[in-house]
Amino acid sequence: MFDASQIRALFPALQQQVNQRKLVYLDNAATTQKPESVIHAMAEYYRYDNANVHRASHALSARATRQFEASREVIQRLVNAKFPQEIIWTQGTTGAINLVANSYGSLLEAGDEVIISAMEHHANIVPWQLLAERSGIKLQIAPINGHGQIDMSAFSALLNENTRLVSVCHVSNALGTLNPIAEIIALSHQAGAKVLIDGAQGIAHCDVDVQQLDCDFYAFSGHKMYGPTGIGVLYGKQALLDAMPPWQGGGEMIKHVSFNGTSFNRLPFKFEAGTPNISAVIGLAQAAEFLQQTRASREHEAQLVAQLLEGLHAMEQVSIIGPTKGQIGSVSFTVTGEHHSDIATLLDEQGIAVRAGHHCAQPLMAQLGLKGTIRASIAAYNNSADIDNFLIALKHTLALLS
Ligand code: PMP
């Protein structure tokens, strides 16, 4: 049985007051809070095991390397990758997508096509635009329907023999839409295209099995799954990663360097130039363990989303933006006649943390004819009292403004 109050007690940041009110943290899609286990593991590394990995032949380095590589296996298990070397450490989802856009992207030629969707985060738009400028590939945009879902027949119509890659989010950070990624992957593969899933918003709320999904790449950030900032993961199929050239050069990624040329290290090191974010990797493994222990929270999270939707639907001035139900993690809305930032500021005065703005999805906002929305996003540690408090504070805010 899932117990949100037990889970909540593990998070020091949730035990505080903000503006003399108990903190209600509903900005989890931006970043989640961190459990004590993550904070402790990172501090212990710096206290006792601090050394560079893979290099020195001394005890601290051996300990650091052991933890660092064991973390890779934890993440391998989290997403059910076939091999640990299919897990590449990056700086975040952004770093992972840029790696693919630069490395896999360098194999593409003018006339090749990459498809993204109209609901993508800037991190899954701009790297492809930069690639298009460099190499002349064509960027195609799969449109969305009025409920903020990918128009699947329009998507299918875009697939053709020139499509080399489809890159879409698992879950939209701006709307909470869960995309039919299994169908997208199958259709793309039939057309001969590879598929990258931006899992930034999927990893904390969905069970991800990359072998079952058969995606070619899956990218995510540590800080949105109870882990530290500055660390993320690119999962890639081994054969594909092996065929891709290195992107960034430096230490760690080489086998041999001379002024006549350089040979490169094997996977995963080929893609991990320089000293990595060792403490964050160690913290991320703890976050993954925590995430696996809270798998039973899926039902609890769905109930919180349903409670949020019901409360918001009951407010006349409020319009839900995106799907009418079934959002994953995030619910986006606007308030007639009010600016989203004013609402967020007034909520903050009542101890409620939400996000207001374009959510790094300006093209999506432009299509919706909006400057921004207010987004309430939940995590496993939220409870129904948080949602009640949020709804009461929002009602109070609307009354104040009327
Ligand atoms: N994609 C999506 C769907 C996201 O929500 C985010 C973070 N808001 C990113 C990509 C970028 O993640 P990061 O900033 O951690 O690299």
Ligand 1 centroid to 200 CA: how many Å? Answer: 5
C-alpha distances out from residue 141 to 111, 136, 144, 385, Å: 15, 16, 9, 40
* Structural domains of the chain, ranges and CATH numbers in brackets: 4-30+296-401 (3.90.1150.10), 38-292 (3.40.640.10)
pLDDT tens by residue, 135-184: 999 999 999 999 999 999 999 999 999 999 999 999 999 999 999 999 99
Mean pLDDT in the chain? 97
**Is residue 92 in contact with ligand 1, taking CB distance under 6 Å?**
yes
Q: Is residue 107 within 8 Å of residue 244, measured between CB atoms?
A: yes
Average pLDDT for 105-119: 98
Q: How far apart are CA 277 and CA 248, in angstroms?
A: 16
Question: The pTM is what?
Answer: 0.98
Rounded to two decimals, the ipTM of the complex is 0.99
Cβ 347 under 6 angstroms from ligand 1: no
Q: Calculate how far, in angstroms, residue 259's C-alpha sits from the geometric centre of ligand 1.
A: 39
Query: What's the confidence (pLDDT) of residue 46?
Result: 98
Answer yes or no: is pLDDT of 375 > 80. yes
Q: How far is CA 383 from CA 26, 113, 165, 326, in A?
A: 11, 44, 40, 18
Which protein residue has the closest C-alpha to ligand 1 atom 14? 94
- For the cut 80, the answer to whether the pLDDT of residue 1 exceeds it is no
| 171 close to 329: Cβ distance less than 8 angstroms | yes
Please check the confidence at residue 56 and state whether its pLDDT lies above 80: no
Q: Which residues are catalytic?
A: 360
The rounded distance, in Å, linking the Cα atoms of 34 and 30 is 13
Reduced to 3 states (helix: H, G, I; strand: E, B; else coil), residue 383 is coil
- Is the beta carbon of 175 within 6 A of some atom in ligand 1? no
Q: Percentage of the chain with pLDDT > 90?
A: 96
CA distances to 175, 325, 379, 382 from 310, rounded to whole Å, are: 16, 10, 18, 17
For residue 123, how far is its CA from the centre of ligand 1 (angstroms)? 6
* Residue 149 Cβ contacting ligand 1 at under 6 Å: no
Looking at the CA of residue 30, tell me the nearest atom of ligand 1: 8
What pLDDT sits at residue 243?
98
Q: How far is the CA of 261 from the centre of ligand 1 (A)?
A: 36
Q: Is 201 in the pocket of ligand 1 (CB under 6 A)?
A: yes
